[in-house]
Amino acid sequence: MQPTLIRRQLGGLVPPKIATPSILSSGSGAGLGPLVNFYSKLPKGPAPASAFGGIKARFFNGKNASAVPLLGAVLGIFALGYTIDYQMHLKHHKNHPH
């Protein structure tokens, strides 16, 4: 990866107006008050569970877990493939009977 991409991705971790080089390089630690104040206001602990979990969370995780969507997808693909194969077979025999 390019250094600019890494710098852009990591740029959001520390707010630029709080952690300026002049505050951090003083060495006394007294200038870190705004930075400590900012991070002390951030929420602590695990993130709350999201109400939107998608297909995986709805069908494959939790107490109602089942393989019905996976089985339905397999059967749907089989039915579509069989239909296409049958139609191609009919076109083959249209002018060339066995």
- Tell me which of 9 and 20 has the higher pLDDT: 9
Assess contact for 69 and 55: CB atoms under 8 A.
yes
DSSP string, 28-39: SSGGGHHHHHHH
CA atoms of 80 and 67, how far apart (whole Å): 20
Decide if pLDDT at 34 tops 90.
no
**Domain assignments of the chain as residue spans, ordered by start:** 53-97
Assess contact for 35 and 23: CB atoms under 8 A.
yes
CA atoms of 3 and 9, how far apart (whole Å): 10
| Token pair recorded at residue 82 | 């069989």
Decide if pLDDT at 55 tops 70.
yes
